[in-house]
Chains A and B, each alone.
Chain A
Amino acid sequence: QKEVEQNSGPLSVPEGAIASLNCTYSDRGSQSFFWYRQYSGKSPELIMSIYSNGDKEDGRFTAQLNKASQYVSLLIRDSQPSDSATYLCAVNNLRGDRGSTLGRLYFGRGTQLTVWP
């Protein structure tokens, strides 16, 4: 079972709409959750982190975490063409078994978002 799964996309929304990106994870013990944005050929850039259940808002971005259902989502309000990028979900893994997964961060494969004018 993959550690972190994202809706594969691509996702296409018109300018001004809400873009919704979803991510599920397998390890119930995970405590740290991150959303990164990556433009083509560039490095991932952190846009949101969330550590407790509920919503966290930062400007046009809202991260939502539901640990019981093991999913984390990212909403982008008033989407702009400059938001067009691949969005990566990352989840930490606190399994303590040897294999040294303690504290590792696992990334989903990303969802490509296109915002058209």
Chain B
Amino acid sequence: EAQVTQNPRYLITVTGKKLTVTCSQNMNHEYMSWYRQDPGLGLRQIYYSMNVEVTDKGDVPEGYKVSRKEKRNFPLILESPSPNQTSLYFCASSLLAGQREQYFGPGTRLTVT
């Protein structure tokens, strides 16, 4: 089944404790992206990747890191999480950057206390 998977789905952590949210797609898509969604603010792009080893900042990259060492994986790293990073996070992938539909993972609900 073609899909985007994320792990973990739910995470409660404390300020400053490094964490990684994994994202994997099995559709051989070149483009992958991370979004956060907050009430009243809609989907905001954190980072995106056009292809392996090519990543770029979205609208809200501060406090996040990403890497794209393999085509299928695009992990999101929070080196020192803070409470303002409490949010719902979505990974998405697309065959062609921006020009075809994006498929979303199920989401990761992160709470930083």
List chain A positions with a Cβ less than 8 A from chain B. 31-32, 34, 41-46, 49, 88, 90, 92-94, 100, 102-105, 107-110
Contact = CB atoms under 8 A, between A and B. Distances in A.
A43 B98 contact: no
Contacts of B41: 109
Contacts, number: 58
Instruction: Tell me if A's interface is mostly helix, strand, loop or mixed.
Output: loop
Contacts of B107: 41-43
B99 A104 contact: no
B103 A46 contact: yes
B74 interface: no
Interface string B32-43: 010100001111
Chain A CB within 10 Å, residue with most, of B88, B98, B102: B98
B45 interface: yes
Contacts of A45: 104
A46 B101 contact: yes
B90 A103 contact: no
B89 to A, nearest CB: 10
Nearest to A3: B59
Contact of A44 (B57, B94, B100, B104): B104
Contact of B42 (A49, A105, A108): A108
Nearest to A86: B42
A105 B40 CA distance: 19
A107 B43 contact: yes
Contact of B96 (A93, A103, A110): A103
Given A104-B98, A107-B43, 10 more contacts: A32-B99, A32-B100, A41-B88, A41-B107, A43-B106, A45-B104, A90-B102, A94-B98, A104-B58, A105-B98
B108 to A, nearest CB: 10
The 7 closest A-B pairs by CB, nearest first: A103-B97, A103-B98, A109-B42, A92-B98, A43-B104, A100-B56, A107-B43
A43 B36 CA distance: 11
Interface string B55-98: 01110000000000000000000000000000010100010111
